[in-house]
Structure 1
Amino acid sequence: MTEPVTLIPGERQERRAPVRLRGLDELAFTADELGLEEPPARAWHVPQLVPAGTVTLLQGDGGTGKSLLALQLAAATTLGKPWLGQEVRRGNALYLSAEDDRDEIHRRLSAVTLEHGVALDSLTGLKVVDLCGEDAVLADAERSGRLQPTPRWHEFAELARAWQPSLITIDNLADVFAGEENSRPQARQFIGQLQGLAREICATVVLIGHPSLAGIASGSGSSGSTAWNNSVRSRLYLTKPAGSEEAPADPDARVLTVKKANYGPSSIEVRLRWAGGVFRADGPGTRAVGAVDRQIAEARAEHTFLALLDAFTQEGRWVGPNTGHTYAPALFARDPRANGVGKPALASAMGRLFASGSIIVQPYGPPSKDKRRIARAPAGEGK
C-alpha cells in the first residue's frame, strides 16, 4: 500500500522558487556515491498503474469516458479514497479542463462524491481550471520548429507551484499542444516540459489524449509520433470491449489496459463498468479485478526467482528443475532473500520462465553423472 502524503486537502504549502538552470558540474555524480545509501523505494500514485512524480498518458477513443475516469482519480486523490479499488497517494489535485465546462464538471463530481458517500464541499483540495472555449495552449512551435512554453503555461505553472498538487491532470492533449503531433522532437519537448514541472513540485501528471485511427485499429491506442509513447513512463488505454454476433457489446463495459509500464508489469487489464454516473471496478470484492493483483504477484515471483538464481550461481550453488535436494523453488523459498515469496509461487514462476525462454537447463560435471542445473538463457535466445 502506498503511504498517503501528509498534505491535507486544501492546505497550501510555502511557495517554492522556480527551478534555475543548473550546470553540468552540479548534475554529474560518480556512481560509487550511490553505494553510500539504500536505493529509494519506488513511489506510486496508484500502485502498478500510475507512477508518482512523472507523466502518465491516458488515452481512449472519444466517448469512452477517459475524462470521467481521470476526474474520479483527482477526487480520490483529494479525498484519500480508493480509485478502482486501488489505494491512491493523497494530496491536493489540479485539473485543467479544456473539453468540459464548469457545469459538466459539476454534474460529474456530484456523481463521484455520491459514490464515495461525501458532500461536494469535501473536495476542498481539488482545484479545477475551466479553459473550455478559452485559449488553453501550453506549448507552441516557433518557425524553427522548436517548441516553446506559452504565457498560458507560465500562468498554469505558477498556479501549480502555489497549489502544490499531488496530482495534475491535463485534459486534453489536442487542446494544449499546438505543435506537430507527428514531430518526434516536439513530442519529447512537451513531455519534458510537463516532466520538469512534475519534478519541481513533486507531482504526478496525467495527460489525457486521443489515439490515432491507426492506434485504434491496431489496439495499441497510440497516436502521432512514437515519441509520445517513448517519452512517458506509463501509458494507459481505455477501450470499449468488442462484441460478437453471439454476445453483443455491453455499452457500459470498459477495459483499462496498461500499454506501457517502465516501473511495473505491462498488459495489466482492469475491467470497469459505468453505473450511476461513475466507473467501478467490475469484479468481486472492493479491489480492482484480480488479474491486476495476480500479474503483480507473478511478476514479483519471476523477479525473485531470477535474482536468487543469479545469487546462487555467483555463490557456486547449483539448483535444478526437478524435485530433490537441489530443487530450485524449495531452496529459494527458504532463502531470506525471497522476501516471503513461497515455494508454489516460485515453482509457477520457474515454469513461466522456462516457457518464455528466459532460463534453460544445462548439463554440468562429469558426463557419467548426468547432472543438470538451471541457468540464464544466453542473451538473445529468449522468446
Structure 2
Amino acid sequence: MADDNTPWDEMSNAPGGPPKEGPTVVNFAAEKAKRADPKARKSQFFTATMLDGKDVPVRNWLVAGLIPSGTVTLMTGDGGTGKSLLALQLATACALGKRWLGKTVAGGRALFVSAEDDEDELHRRLADVLDAEGAGFDDLDQLALRSLAGEDALLTELDTRTGKQKATDLFSELDAFLTDLAPALVVLDTLADLFPGNENDRAQARQFIGMLRGLAIRHDCAVVLLAHPSLSGIQNGTGMSGSTGWHNSVRSRLYLERVIQGDDEPNPDARVLRTMKANYGPTGAEIALTWRNGVFVADEPETGLDRGARRSKAMRKFMELLRLFTEQGRDVNSRAGRYYAPTIFAAHPEAEGITKNAFADAMECLFSQGAIRDAEVDRHRRKTTIIQEVE
C-alpha cells in the first residue's frame, strides 16, 4: 500500500493506487508540487488506500452525545432564558473536571469570552456556580475569562463588495491565545456581537462558522457559540437563528427554552435544553432544568413508566380536543402555522397542563397508530388539509 511518504508521482504504480496501464485523471506530480508550496492550502488530495492499516480515529466529545470536540456547537436561547449562565456552568465544569447537568464533561482548560456581561457580572455568576460546586476561585486556574462588554467585539470584517470575511485583530489575538492555552472548550457569547454580517445571509453564516471551525480544528477543542433565535424560531419551537445556514453549518445545535403552556409559564424557573441537531449522535434528547440558587440544576429523570403515562395522557387529551373542535366546526392541521393542532390544543383551557411539544409527540403517535389522518377538504372554495379522526 501507499504510506504517508509515498511520492505522489509514484502512487499510480503503488499497490492500491490507480492501475499501471491506462491514463489517470490525477496528476500526482503536480499534487506533490502543491504540497511543497508554502502558499498552498493545508488540505491535500489523497487516495483512500492511504488509510489502510491506520487506526480509525476515535470521536472525541466534550459532552458525549451533546457537544463534540473539534467543531462548533450552536446553543440558542431567547434573551433572559439563561444560556450564558448555562454555558458558564459548562466552562466551570470543564475546568474543574466535574459533571454538567448530570453529564460527564471531558476535563481541561476552558475559555469563556463574553461580549454581553462585564467582569463584575461574570464574577457574581461564577460565585454562584462555585458555591453550587462546593469549590472556590482558587480552584479555577484552568478557566480563562474575557469580557468584551462595551468594546468592538467583532471577530471578522465584512467586505461589502465581495461579501467575504476576514479575521479581525481580535480574532488573531484569540487564535494566538488559544495556542498557549490549549483549551478543551471555548465559549463565545454571543453571535450578534461577534458577527458583522447579515444573519439571514446563508453564505455569510457558513463562512463565519467555517472560520470558527478552523479554530476548533487547529486547537483541538469544542467551540460553543451562543446565539439568540429569530422570532419565527421562537414561535415554531425550532430555536433557529436567522438563515438556515447557521443550523446547517454546525455539527451540533442545542436550544434552551422556557416551559410554556398556552400563553402561561407555570414555573418561571423551569427550562428545557433540547438537542435540535446532532450529526454524530441522536437528536430529540431533552434535559429538564430548574434554576435554583443562581444556577441551573437538572431535574430528576423520568422513569419509563412516568414517560408512558404522560404520553398516554397527551394522546387521550389530543383526541378529546380534536373531537370537540370537529363538533364546533373548527379545523386544525398537522403542519406548523396558524392552525397547527399542538399549538392550539396547548393553549386551550382544557389542556390540563400538556405542552405543545407533548401534543406534537402525541399527534405523531396517533398518526402512526392510524387513529388520525390528514384529509383534504373544501373550505371557502379552496382545498385545505385538516386532521380527522379515523372512524
Q: Name the counterpart of 1:159.
A: 177
Matched, 1:41 2:53: no
Matched, 1:262 2:276: no
Amino acid at match of 2:95: T
* Equivalent runs, 1:34-73 vs 2, <5 Å: 34-73=51-90
Amino acid at match of 1:135: D
Matched, 1:187 2:225: no
What SS is found at the alignment partner of 1:194?
helix
Return closer, same or farther for 1:248/1:233 CA change in 2, 3 Å cut-off. Answer: closer
What SS is found at the alignment partner of 1:115?
helix
Return closer, same or farther for 1:148/1:215 CA change in 2, 3 Å cut-off. Answer: same
Return closer, same or farther for 1:174/1:21 CA change in 2, 3 Å cut-off. Answer: farther
CA drift at 1:229: 0.4
Q: Name the counterpart of 2:110.
A: 93
Q: Name the counterpart of 1:142.
A: 159
Alignment partners' CA distance in 1, 2:303 and 2:69: 23
CA displacement, residues 187-228 of structure 1 (integer Å, 9 cap, x when unaligned): 111101111111111111000000000100110100111110
* Match of residue 278, structure 1, among 289, 292, 295: 295
Q: Name the counterpart of 2:193.
A: 175
Alignment partners' CA distance in 1, 2:92 and 2:223: 15
Instruction: Report if aligned partners of 1:270, 1:281 keep a CA contact under 8 Å in 2.
Output: yes
CA displacement, residues 151-198 of structure 1 (integer Å, 9 cap, x when unaligned): 111111111111111100000000010111111111111101111111
Alignment partners' CA distance in 2, 1:115 and 1:21: 50
Q: Which has the larger radius of gyration?
A: 2
Instruction: Report if aligned partners of 2:69, 2:216 keep a CA contact under 8 Å in 1.
Output: no
Q: Name the counterpart of 1:77.
A: 94
What SS is found at the alignment partner of 1:272?
strand
Amino acid at match of 2:84: S
Alignment partners' CA distance in 1, 2:72 and 2:262: 36
Alignment partners' CA distance in 2, 1:139 and 1:256: 29
Instruction: Report if aligned partners of 1:235, 1:259 keep a CA contact under 8 Å in 2.
Output: yes
Q: Name the counterpart of 2:235.
A: 217
Amino acid at match of 2:107: R
Alignment partners' CA distance in 2, 1:215 and 1:88: 29
Return closer, same or farther for 1:52/1:221 CA change in 2, 3 Å cut-off. Answer: same
CA drift at 1:249: 1.8
Amino acid at match of 1:155: E
CA displacement, residues 91-145 of structure 1 (integer Å, 9 cap, x when unaligned): 1001111001111111111111111111121111111111011111101211221
What SS is found at the alignment partner of 1:109?
helix
CA displacement, residues 321-340 of structure 1 (integer Å, 9 cap, x when unaligned): xxxxxxxxxxxxxxxxxxxx
Amino acid at match of 1:186: Q
Matched, 1:131 2:148: yes
CA drift at 1:233: 0.3
Return closer, same or farther for 1:290/1:97 CA change in 2, 3 Å cut-off. Answer: farther
Q: Name the counterpart of 1:103.
A: 120
Matched, 1:206 2:224: yes
Return closer, same or farther for 1:157/1:271 CA change in 2, 3 Å cut-off. Answer: same
CA drift at 1:260: 0.5
Alignment partners' CA distance in 1, 2:157 and 2:117: 22
Matched, 1:118 2:132: no
CA drift at 1:21: 5.8
Alignment partners' CA distance in 2, 1:169 and 1:50: 12
RMSD: 2.1
Instruction: Report if aligned partners of 1:140, 1:149 keep a CA contact under 8 Å in 2.
Output: yes
CA displacement, residues 244-290 of structure 1 (integer Å, 9 cap, x when unaligned): 58x85210100000000000000100000000100010115xxxx67
TM-score, normalization by structure 1: 0.67
CA displacement, residues 285-344 of structure 1 (integer Å, 9 cap, x when unaligned): xxxx678xx9xxxxxxxxxxxxxxxxxxxxxxxxxxxxxxxxxxxxxxxxxxxxxxxxxx
Instruction: Report if aligned partners of 1:283, 1:290 keep a CA contact under 8 Å in 2.
Output: no
What SS is found at the alignment partner of 2:52?
helix
CA drift at 1:58: 0.3
Task: Give the aligned length.
Answer: 270
